[in-house]
Every structure is written in structure tokens, then in C-alpha cells.
Amino acid sequence: MLRLNEVQLPLDHPEDALHAAILERLGIAAEEMLGYTIFRRSYDARKKSAVILTYTVDVELRDESAVLKRRTGDRNVMTTPDTNYRFVAQAPGQLKSRPVVIGTGPCGLFAGLILAQMGFNPIILERGKAVRERTKDTWGLWRKRELQPESNVQFGEGGAGTFSDGKLWTQIKDPKHYGRKVLTEFVKADAPEEIMYVSKPHIGTFRLVKMVEQMRATIEALGGEFRFQQKVDDIAIKSENGQGQVQAVVLASGETIVTDHVVLAIGHSARDTFQMLYERGVYIEAKPFSLGFRIEHPQSLIDRCRFGPSAGHPILGAADYKLVHHCESDQARGRAVYSFCMCPGGTVVAATSEPGRVVTNGMSQYSRNERNANSGIVVGITPADYPGHPLAGIAFQQQWESRAFELGGGTYDAPGQLVGDFIAGRASTTLGSVIPSYKPGVLLGDLSTSLPDYAIAAIREALPAFDKQIRGFAMHDAVLTGVETRTSSPIRIKRHDDSLQSLNTTGLFPAGEGAGYAGGIMSAAIDGIRVAEAVALSILSKN
């Protein structure tokens, strides 16, 4: 197979134009090409009146070496790299103990899947409920203001990304092509095929729910075992000369599962579990994260600005954006404000896992056809903003989440303000043209005391700057709701670079977003694969 990059065609090209463009670029006759597949399709909308599609294709040829020879020196023509996933190990017939995976988010699911595919029969523990029951509980907060602390947007089968936009791209380096393995498994679990080649794939909530169930069935068929509503409350660690060794996990029910290999894929909201790990002496340090608000605009405004006359084209879908501003004002100098987890045509969701707190985030369906675009507008903060204890960032998040609950009227409504009023420094009393989508509801008022002063100053400075990139971004009627605090983990559970085991606890594999090693579905899933491999190799070395 031969890979050909940078085949460019206009947005509305006829179907056979790609075939013709490949022949032309390779300088070959039609009978020399046996077939082709699209590896990647992206768009360039910088010139809105002439949006360009750029393809990378894998071409099957009658005589590949002859074409390669003729194209020597053309950096866009090469042998297709081998991106197939290969297992690093196979389980022995007899295992001393089964590996345990804590958490069924993308990290835990992929750790479980890879371990099961290698024959290691993992036990996968999840504090929340199976995804169908979890969906009902999650809607319970959105519709009836009833929060289930163990079954919500953060906790339960599928993890934090289940009720999401399901964006699947990541900027992490992936030299071993684990991302391909993730996409391939998602497609096997019924994700749309196009995620294999579109440059910014997404899945949307309804589909994710089915996929999570499908992946569970696959893991179980391979010998893995899922246990829901089984919160890990404690970890037994034997310590010698400052180094610990995992011996067992203890469930909230009191049951003990003996194991010497534990994947800790608990996400960024398992605050009680972070506390327990800290008390058991597992090495943890504070790390930077971000906080801010969700912003909502009409999706049509974003589409027009990004795509001009091509807005609404089915290939382009609902437009997204990515914005960054580096602050210069006295109160916020040196801080960066950026858009986070942008959800085109989506809704803002109530994402708290704790009673008496309000947290925002965003989700969408595959169609992305809701009226509003939303994204987090967040300010980067560092441990210097919440000094002291390694877990101080958690208390800091909780402080602002409680404040948001209070400002929202104490009913799980989110406090909100129109962008025009926020910038002018006056409370909002009535909505304008943008109707916020957050459920159960939004209580309009003044957000200026809902975050630290420097964060308010930073966002006030950033919004007009963003308006220069997307005209209308700082429109008066756009709505801010708060607060967005669960952007990433406020801690890192540090691990060795090679063995991926905790710095001071052998057999404990901190992984995914909660441990500070991922940020998003794709990177968490990839980290799950890496950790599963490390677990398998460690088991083999001891067996």
C-alpha cells in the first residue's frame, strides 16, 4: 500500500474527482490503480468562499515499487506505515492473582479490554451503576433536581465522557498508533465508521451509551468481569523501607479482593478516593488546572463566522472553535484564558457529583443540531493559587462549586449572566436572544463573585479579544453559566516513566485523567492501553 498526502479538492467536488486526483498526482493510468481507501479527510476553511478538503489516501497499485521509484523525493508519497496494534504479551495458563482495574471510563475500559484480549481476565470495579440505570439517575438531576452522589455525569459505567460531545481527537504524541486501536475498537462497538478518517471525529451521547455496553459485552466474553456499585474504599499496601507493595483492594461492602496489580483509572472527580490514597501514603502532588464558565452563543453565529457561505454544508457540520488569550491587565497579567471542550450544537450540562455544588460542562448528540454552541471559557491556575497541601486544589474547586450552588439559589440551578452585563459589571435580570440550555435551570444575576477576582478579570479581558477572532463572540446576549471547575485533575499521582507504577507503591498503576496522565476521551483510552501493557509485562515478570 502506498500513502499519498495532501490531495486537495474543493468542498463540493463530484464523487469521482478524488479517484481522478489520485491518478493525476501519482501520474498513473487508471488500470495501474487497484483501489484506495481514505485515511484522513480534513478541511481548510481559511478562505471561506472556497473551502478546501484535504485527503490522505492509501492506494493499492499493480506495481507499487515502480510508482515509488518514480516519485522519489516527493514527501507526500510513501509506503503506508503499519499502524496495526500488536499485543505485547499473552497471559500464562495459571495466574497468581487477577489484575484489578478501578473505573470504567475510557481509561479503565481500554485497560480492561487490552488485558482481556491478552487473556489476563481482569476484574473491573465501578462505583457507579451500569450505563442504562446511570442514564436515568443523571437525568434525575437535570429534570428533577435529584442528585445521586454515586451515579451521575462523573460516576458510572463509561466514566465522565459518556454524557459528552464524544470528541475523539487529541494532541498527544502517539508514535505506536494506539489511537488507531482505540478508533478500531470503537467502530467494532458500533461507532460511526467515519471516525476512522475524519480529522475531528465525534460520537455524541446516545451512541456512546450503546458503545459502552457493547465494549462491556466484548470484555466479558473474553473472560473479564465487571462489578458495578462497587466502590473501592481502601487499598491494602505493605510497606518496607519507604516503598509500598499493593496487596489487595477493599470495597465499600467490606469485601477484600487480593491482587498485586491495580490500575487506578478513577477520573478527576473521585475526591474521596484521592484522600484515601493520600492517607495510605501513595505519592501525590498538586498540579495546574483551570476554572471558568460555560458560554453559549447561537450555533449559526459560529457557523457563519467559520464557514461563511458554506455554513450548513453536511461535510463541515456544525462549526467549532479554539481560542486562547494571554492577559495583560494588572489583575490578570500572565494568565491564559482559553476555550475548553467546545460542543457545537450541544447543551450545557449539570456535572456535579457532590450535593450542594454546581458544576457545568457540555455535551451533544451525534447530529450536533441543537440551537446553541457552548464551550468552557477557562483560566489557567497553578498550585501557587492554592498553596499548601497536595490536595488543596480539590478544596479550592469545592469552594467555587459551593459558591455557584449558593448563587444559583440552592436548587441546582446554575448562576448565569449575559456577556454584555458581565463585561459591563452589572447584574443580569432578563434573557435576550440566547436561551441557555443548562437544566434544571439558570438563575440570572452577577457572576463577579463566583470565581477568584483574577479569574473574573482575566475572562473580562479575554471575551472582547475573542470577539476579534469570532465577530459576535462578545455579543451582549450570549450567556455565561458557572462554574466550570472539573476541567482536569487538580492532582498528579506520579508514576515511573518506564514501569508506569506509582513512584512509591509497586503494583499500583495510576492512569488516565484522574492521575494527571490524560485530558479527554482519546488520551485517557490511549493511556489505558499503555498501562494494560505495563501490567501484563509486570505480571509475566513475576509469574
Q: Count the site residues for ligand FAD by CB under 6 A.
A: 44
Chain positions 108 to 127 lying near ligand FAD, rule: CB under 6 A, are 108, 125-127
The backbone region for 520, taken as left when phi is positive above 0, alpha when psi lies in -120 to 50, beta otherwise, is: left
In terms of CB distance, is 91 or 141 closer to ligand FAD? 141
CB 157, min distance to ligand FAD, A? 7
Smallest gap from residue 267 Cβ to ligand FAD (A): 2
Residue-by-residue DSSP string for 113-168: HHHHHTT---EEE-SS--HHHHHHHHHHHHHH----TTSSSSSSTTGGGSSS--B-
Q: Would you say 390 or 512 has its CB closer to ligand FAD?
A: 512
Q: Applying CB under 6 A, which part among 137-145, 177-185, 213-221, 262-270 lies near ligand FAD?
A: 262-270
Of 162-191, binders to ligand FAD (CB under 6 A) are 163-167
231 binds ligand FAD (CB under 6 A): yes
Name the minimum Å distance from CB 5 to ligand FAD.
26
C-beta separation of 365 from 349 below 8 A: no
Shortest gap between Cβ of 123 and ligand FAD (angstroms)?
11
Determine if 201 is a binding residue for ligand FAD (CB under 6 A).
Answer: no
Contact region for ligand FAD (CB under 6 A) — 297-305, 365-373, 518-526, 534-542? 518-526
248 binds ligand FAD (CB under 6 A): no
Task: Provide the 10 A C-beta neighbour count for residue 96.
Answer: 12
What character string, x for contact with ligand FAD (CB under 6 A) and - otherwise, covers 317-356?
A: ------------------------x-------x-x-----
Judged by CB, which is closer to ligand FAD: 363, or 456? Answer: 363
CA angle at 475 for the pair 471 and 480, rounded to the nearest 5°: 120
Instruction: With CA atoms as reference, report the closest residue to 507 among 264, 261, 274.
Output: 261
Residue closer to ligand FAD, measured from CB, 475 or 521: 521
Q: Does 363 bind ligand FAD (CB under 6 A)?
A: yes
Chain residues 127-166 in contact with ligand FAD, contact rule CB under 6 A: 127-128, 153, 155-156, 159-161, 163-166
DSSP of 24-48: HHHT--GGGEEEEEEEEEEEE-SSG
Q: Are strands 347-350 and 360-363 parallel, antiparallel or unpaired?
A: antiparallel
353 Cβ partners below 8 Å, 6+ apart? Answer: 147, 149, 152, 153, 154, 155, 269, 359
In which element (H, E) is residue 340 found?
strand 336-343
Give the sign of the dihedral formed by CA 107, CA 108, CA 110, CA 114.
positive
- Nearest-approach distance from CB 260 to ligand FAD, in angstroms: 18
Dist. CA 282–CA 302, nearest whole Å: 46
Q: By CB under 6 A, what part of segment 75-104 binds ligand FAD? A: 102-104
Q: At a CB cut-off of 8 Å and minimum separation 6, what does 81 contact? A: 3, 177
Q: Which of 33, 107, 257, 480 binds ligand FAD (CB under 6 A)?
A: 107
Residues found in the chain: 543
Question: What x/- string results for residues 471 through 510 when contact with ligand FAD is judged by CB under 6 A?
Answer: ----------------------------------------
- Give the range of 217-225, 240-248, 319-327, 520-528 binding ligand FAD by CB under 6 A: 520-528
- CA dist 156 and 319 (Å) reads 30
Angle of CA points 9, 166, 18, to nearest 5°: 15
Angstrom distances, CA of residue 438 to CA of 40, 170, 242, 479:
35, 26, 48, 11
Residue 301 or 521 having the CB closest to ligand FAD: 521
* Shortest Å distance, C-beta 425 to ligand FAD: 30
CA dihedral 7, 12, 13, 14 (to 10 degrees): 150
Report the DSSP beta bridge partners of residue 264.
Answer: 102, 510
Applying the rule CB under 6 A, the residues between 263 and 282 that interact with ligand FAD are 265-267, 270, 273
Stretch that binds ligand FAD, among 22-30, 329-337, 378-386, 514-522 (CB under 6 A): 514-522
The Cα–Cα gap between 366 and 176 comes to 28
Indicate the residue among 165 and 260 with the shorter CB distance to ligand FAD: 165
Q: Which residues bind ligand FAD (CB under 6 A)?
A: 102-108, 125-128, 153, 155-156, 159-161, 163-167, 231-232, 265-267, 270, 273, 341, 349, 351, 361-363, 512-514, 518-522, 524
